[in-house]
């Protein structure tokens, strides 16, 4: 199957979140299944720096833009997946991350930047760049590529299209005047197309026009058809439910495995867990916490936003820290109010709480390995990866029953323990009290060394390899071509 895989970020080229992890792992997994998969991304400075050898294969213009665009070809580092980078310096050669300036504000011309990207995607998908290659399926990811299925729908013949929703909360909403700037056809300015409460919604381009839609977990595919999780798009998604499915994300165990993780001070496995204690001691030292092998060390890695429930973590853990019942380590950045709250709490409990605002890949690995319990009380979670990493690292995850968290973590009870199926702790209500109660229940299990070790080992033996997910995507591609 020939597949053009379009994304705004992919590890190891550029990463701001889980989207990059997925898009850096799925194409190589598809390639291993003998698919002819090729990737296309914007040529951000980080991509140009990390891509290795590149060559120019096309120079052209697209509708609505006066600038010459260059298409660069290389390979996704560490793989044999062909890579195309869309080089338009005016739009992509900027400091900051792909979507925001250094001051944290969105680029004011994001609608132009990603509309240009989508127009190039379609030109490549239609084999109009003289590369003598055309995909059978165009696979787009999140709002940054949402206009591509819409633009593609205006052409015949054309490849089939699949649109993957990694997070419905990020919709690519822009003021209505953007329609004129982007030279969008009048029929796009409708409720059943791109119009969304008087704005243009890029994500609706994918949801309304793609032949098939999928999310990154089965539970999330069901949730987004409800008012609670649909972010105003539940009606459209329910109407397209026959074309909507959920495929659980995989994990790249070549990168996330304590047996061979180069970021860890000591490695360990299900056969020998001794290295995990060394990782805990090293993590305590890194953050200046009181050395204590027995004290439960709770950890969290993620964006500091309401979705991730960081406020719940802070609220639930404050009384436990005050009683010196736990230690806590948090790595992440995001909303300034949450960052400020976390800083204040870390200052009050300096010997028991470690905090790093920002992101550090090596430290993220060390936290997964050094923690005893991974907290992930997300209000919603399309799939989530950290809870899967935590399972492999023998750090039982404590999660809310939502999205991919519900699909990957089995709650601890007398029944699931007896059946050898328990892998973590699951709760329902998005409140400090519910989280605190669940943490306290987990600490009681932690006090039983034999039961806790059983929980760790069961989690470490779980497998969410990309091969299974890639096979499911391959089957979905076949469905797309028959649509």
- DSSP secondary structure, 63-90, as one string: TT--S-EEEEEEE-TTS--EEEEEE-HH
Tokens of 17: 């979140």
Alpha carbon 190 to chain centroid, angstroms: 30
Q: How far apart are CA 56 and CA 468, in angstroms?
A: 35
- 330: nearest Cα among 304, 301, 303: 301
Strands in 234-305 per DSSP E? 244-246, 297-301
Interior angle at CA 341, CA 335 and CA 347, nearest 5: 135
Buried b (16+ CB within 10 A) or exposed e, 88-127: beebbebeebbbeeeeeeebeebbbbbbbbbbbbbbbbbe
Q: What is each CA distance from 262 to 26, 28, 255, 449, 465, in whole angstroms?
A: 22, 21, 9, 28, 20
Q: How far apart are CA 367 and CA 361, in angstroms?
A: 10
Q: What is each CA distance from 196 to 241, 255, 461, in whole angstroms?
A: 19, 40, 45
> Is 482 annotated to bind ligand?
no
Alpha carbon 9 to chain centroid, angstroms: 10
- 172: nearest Cα among 216, 204, 148: 204
- DSSP secondary structure, 300-330, as one string: EES-BSGGGTHHHHHHHHHHHHHTT--EEEE
Q: How far apart are CA 345 and CA 330, in angstroms?
A: 11
Tokens of 291: 């050395």
Q: How far apart are CA 170 and CA 231, in angstroms?
A: 9
Strand 195-196 to 212-215 pairing: unpaired
In sign, the C-alpha dihedral spanning 96, 101, 104, 107 is: negative
Q: How far apart are CA 381 and CA 308, in angstroms?
A: 8
H runs (alpha helix) in 324-465: 336-348, 361-370, 386-392, 403-408, 414-418, 432-446, 449-460
Residues annotated as binding site? 15
Residues annotated as binding site for ADP-alpha-D-glucose? 15
């Amino acid at each position: 199957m020939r597949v053009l895989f379009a994304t705004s970020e992919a590890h190891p080229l550029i990463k701001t979140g889980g989207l990059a992890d997925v898009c850096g792992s799925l194409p190589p997994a598809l390639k291993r299944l003998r698919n002819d998969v090729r990737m296309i991304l914007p040529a951000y400075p980080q991509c140009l720096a990390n891509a290795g050898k590149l060559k120019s294969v096309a120079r052209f213009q697209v509708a609505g833009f006066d600038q010459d665009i260059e298409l660069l070809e290389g390979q996704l580092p560490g793989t044999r997946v062909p890579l195309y980078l869309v080089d338009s310096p005016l739009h992509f050669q900027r400091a900051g991350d792909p979507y925001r300036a250094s001051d944290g504000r969105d680029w004011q011309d994001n609608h132009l930047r990603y509309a240009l990207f989508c127009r190039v995607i379609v030109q490549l998908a239609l084999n109009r760049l003289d590369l003598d290659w055309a995909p059978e399926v165009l696979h787009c990811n999140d709002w940054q590529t949402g206009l591509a299925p819409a633009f593609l729908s205006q052409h015949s013949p054309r490849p089939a299209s699949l649109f993957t929703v990694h997070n419905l909360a990020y919709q690519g909403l822009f003021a209505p005047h953007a329609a004129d700037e982007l030279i969008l056809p009048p029929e796009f300015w409708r409720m059943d197309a791109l119009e969304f409460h008087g704005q243009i919604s890029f994500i609706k381009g994918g949801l309304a026009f793609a032949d098939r839609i999928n999310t990154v977990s089965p539970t999330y595919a069901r949730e987004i058809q409800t008012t609670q999780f649909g972010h105003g798009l539940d009606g459209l998604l329910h109407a397209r439910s026959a074309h909507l499915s959920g495929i659980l994300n995989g994990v790249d165990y070549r990168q996330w495995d304590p047996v061979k993780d180069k970021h860890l001070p000591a490695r360990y496995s299900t056969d020998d867990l001794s290295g995990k204690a060394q990782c805990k001691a090293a993590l305590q030292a890194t953050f200046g916490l009181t050395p204590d092998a027995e004290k439960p060390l709770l950890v969290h890695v993620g964006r500091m936003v309401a979705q991730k429930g960081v406020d719940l973590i802070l609220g639930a853990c404050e009384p436990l820290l005050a009683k010196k019942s736990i230690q806590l380590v948090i790595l992440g950045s995001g909303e300034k109010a949450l960052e400020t709250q976390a800083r204040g709490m870390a200052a009050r409990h300096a010997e028991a709480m470690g905090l790093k605002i920002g992101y550090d890949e090596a430290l993220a690995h060390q936290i997964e390995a050094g923690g005893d319990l991974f907290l992930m009380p997300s209000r919603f979670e399309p799939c989530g990866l950290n809870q899967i990493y935590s399972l492999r690292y023998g750090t039982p995850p404590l999660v809310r029953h939502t999205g991919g968290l519900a699909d990957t973590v089995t709650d601890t009870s007398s029944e699931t323990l007896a059946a050898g199926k328990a892998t973590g702790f699951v709760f329902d209500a998005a409140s400090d009290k519910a989280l605190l109660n669940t943490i306290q229940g987990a600490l009681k299990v932690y006090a039983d060394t034999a039961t806790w070790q059983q929980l760790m080992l069961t989690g470490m033996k779980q497998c969410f390899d990309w091969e299974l997910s890639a096979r499911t995507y391959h089957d979905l591609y076949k469905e797309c071509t028959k649509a």
